[in-house]
Structure 1
Amino acid sequence: MSDPDDHSAAPDRLKALEDRIAAAKGEERKPHSEEHYSQANMAWRMVIELVAGLGIGFGIGYGLDVLFGTIPIFMVLFILLGFAAGIKTMMRSAAEMQNEQLAKQADKSEGD
C-alpha cells in the first residue's frame, strides 16, 4: 500500500514523468505561450473601444435630440463623432501593441 504522505509528491512525480517521456520522444518542452490569448485580448479591447465610442455618441446625440425636441440630427452627428473617436482609439491601441512587439524584438536581438 502507498504511504498517505506520498500524495503531496504526486504532481512532482507526474511532471518528472512527462519530462522523461518528452525527452524520450525527442521533443523540447515548450512553456505554454500566452501570446495567443494576448492577441485575442487586444482584439476584443479594440472592438469594445469602437462599440463604446458608438454607444457614447448615440447616447449624447439621442439625449440632445430629446432635450431640444429636434429630429435625430444630433444623434446622427454624434454617432459619426463617436465612430471617429472609436477608430482613433483603436489606432492608438494598435500602435501601442506594435511598439510592444518592436520592443520585444529589440530585446531578443540584443540578447543574441
Structure 2
Amino acid sequence: MELPDVVIDSISVLLEPYQINFREMWRKQQSRGTEASDSDKWMSLEEAASFAKVSIWTVRRWCRKGVVSKKTSRARCGRILISKVSLEKFIDGLIDPNQKAI
C-alpha cells in the first residue's frame, strides 16, 4: 500500500511531539512487506517434509529438538508452520543438530 507524501508528512507532524519518526517506521514496514511477498518465509509441515524429502514426523522431531524454527498459525488453530530459512540452513548443514534454532 502506498501513502501519498502529504499524508506521511501530516502523520509525521502529528507524532513529532511524541518523538516518533513515522516516516522511518513506514519505510521499514514497507520494506518488510516487500521482503515477505518476495519469498514465502513459512511452510506447512507437509511442504517442509516434501522440501527436505523426509516424513512429517521427522520435521516434527526437528521442531521439538529446536533445530528448526516454527510458529503456530493464528488462522488455523494448532497448525504448525516451519521457517523456510531455518530449514534450508539446517539441511545445508549450517546448523549443528545439537544447536538451537535462531
Judge same fold: TM > 0.5, yes or no. no
Normalized per residue, the structure richer in helix is 1
**TM-score, with structure 2 as normaliser:** 0.33
Which is higher, the Rg of structure 1 or of structure 2? 1
TM norm structure 1: 0.31
Structure showing the higher strand proportion among its residues: 2
